[in-house]
Amino acid sequence: MTKKIAVLAGDGIGPEIVAEAVKVLECLGRNGLAVELEDGLVGGAAYEVHGTPLPAETLDLAKASDAILLGAVGGYQWESLDISVRPEKGLLGLRAELELFANLRPAILYKQLADASTLKPEVVAGLDIMIVRELTGGIYFGQPRGVRTLDNGERQGFNTLVYSESEIERIGRSAFDIAMKRDRRVCSVDKANVLECTELWREVMEQVARDYPEVALSHMYVDNAAMQLVRAPKQFDVMVTTNMFGDILSDCAAMLTGSIGMLPSASLNAEGKGMYEPIHGSAPDIAGQNVANPLATILSLAMMLRYSLDEAVMADRIERAVEKVLDQGLRTADIHSDGMQKVSTSAMGDAVVAVL
């Protein structure tokens, strides 16, 4: 049966990197994968046309598709807009509307890139961490929120960190299920020494752990986790954490792998439906220059094949093709080092397709 994929390129480098992933998809299409692609607008690109970062037709398309490929959203020109129509709201709206609560962010160091990391090769060699970030709750979505004016005339900003037991339990189960297929270790990251909400988080994680006797659960405060990620990152297998802590720690983990341009992600709902996107942003400073690294997006496509389209063999093929182009010495600017061949966004995509 033909699978329908919504392609939401978004803003900044989004269209450039998504175009390379689409080349890869089309190549698979010529080799037996039955897919149908449909483009949709999201973020600033959608705001310019429809006055909203998440038009109804884009949401309908996303809901009607088997999977969603997303580039990135955001850019300088929209930074002064009201927060309710900023590009980021388009992305957050998709996550919330589709209930994509489980965000998987694998940080893997390709051996070819050991020199690209700012950390010593022995600290990062062989790195393979899975960050499981809660994506539809926490302080990103908690109510009340806003900016109010106090009696003394001073303005006060406020957001609410809130997690219900069921929200913690379901992301906990996602993390433990993944750990069962890996090294069976889960580190839950919280700030239970200060925040009641994450004290509950810790308690619920303990409860979930009882159903997974083969998985070792540990807990870490987020400040220590940030430190440990750069001190001795290989101690981690699966990390599970809240929406905002996960946002921060995954950028940190990305740099262990040499470049944020290498990290894919999958955001899944309870039925396994997913949105796939690189974890980096829209990088407006380099947009339109054909220099961005398309590999995180291409690797996100591999995650899509594995998690939503049941095509694990094709997913493996893409991941091997990425390794192959790195073996060939091809590097976009973000991962370039002496002796390697610097290539453009499109040349990198073409190289992956050629290997496939």
Binding at 296: pick from ligand IPM, Mg ion, none (beta carbon under 5-8 Å per type): none
Confirm or reject binding of residue 247 to Mg ion (CB under 5 A).
yes
Binding piece for ligand IPM, criterion CB under 6 A, among 84-92, 120-128, 163-171, 335-343:
84-92
Cβ proximity of 280 and 345 under 8 Å: no
Instruction: Quote the tokens at residue 78.
Output: 């929209």
Which range touches ligand IPM (CB under 6 A), out of 47-55, 85-93, 176-184, 286-294?
85-93
The smaller minimum CB distance to ligand IPM, of residues 244 and 353, is found at: 244
SS3 content of the chain, % helix, strand, coil (to 5): 45, 20, 35
Active site residue 3: no
222-230: long-range pairs with CB below 8 Å, 24+: 222/189, 222/190, 222/191, 222/248, 222/249, 223/191, 225/187, 225/189, 225/249, 226/252, 229/253, 229/256, 230/119, 230/256
Report, in Å, the least distance between residue 251 CB and Mg ion: 6
Joined tokens for residue 225: 């986790």
Residue 247 binding ligand IPM, by CB under 6 A: yes
Does 319 interact with ligand IPM (rule: CB under 6 A)? no
Among 247, 273, 307, 334, the one annotated catalytic: 247
| 11 counts as catalytic | no
Q: Is 68 helix (H, G, I), strand (E, B) or coil?
A: strand
Residue nearest to ligand IPM (CB): 88
- Catalytic-residue membership of 163: no
Give, as ranges, the residues between 86 and 125 that touch ligand IPM (CB under 6 A).
88, 91-92
Is residue 223 among the annotated active site residues?
Answer: yes
Are 330 and 341 in contact, with CB atoms under 8 Å apart? yes
Q: How many Cβ atoms sit within 10 Å of the Cβ of residue 32?
A: 8
Q: Are 264 and 303 in contact (CB under 8 A)?
A: yes
Q: Which of 66, 128, 177, 251 is catalytic?
A: 251
Shortest gap between Cβ of 247 and Mg ion (angstroms)? 4
91, interface contact from ligand IPM, Mg ion, none, CB < 5-8 Å by kind = ligand IPM
* Dist. CA 14–CA 17, nearest whole Å: 6
* Closer Cβ to Mg ion, 137 or 349, answer by number: 137
Closer CB to Mg ion, residue 139 or residue 215? 139
Q: Which of 60, 115, 211, 223 is catalytic?
A: 223
Q: Is 262 in the site for ligand IPM (CB under 6 A)?
A: no
What is the C-alpha to C-alpha distance for residues 261 and 239, in angstroms, rounded to an integer? 21
Q: Does 281 bind ligand IPM (CB under 6 A)?
A: yes
Contact 277, 165 (CB under 8 A): no
Instruction: Tell me: does residue 279 bind ligand IPM (CB under 6 A).
Output: yes
- For residue 221, indicate whether it is catalytic: no
Least Å from the CB of residue 149 to ligand IPM: 27
Encoded tokens for 29: 């299409």
Angle at 155 between CA 248 and CA 76, to 5 degrees: 50
Catalytic residue among 47, 140, 163, 212: 140
Q: Which residues contact 75 (CB under 8 A, 6 or more apart)?
A: 11, 12, 44, 87, 282, 284, 287
* Closer CB to ligand IPM, 106 or 311, in the complex: 106
Which listed option, ligand IPM, Mg ion, none, makes contact with residue 186 (CB within 5 to 8 Å by class)?
none
Instruction: Please name every residue paired with 330 in a beta bridge, in sequence order, or none if there are none.
Output: 341
Q: Which residues are catalytic?
A: 140, 191, 223, 247, 251
List of residues contacting Mg ion (CB under 5 A): 247
List of residues contacting ligand IPM (CB under 6 A): 74, 88, 91-92, 247, 279, 281
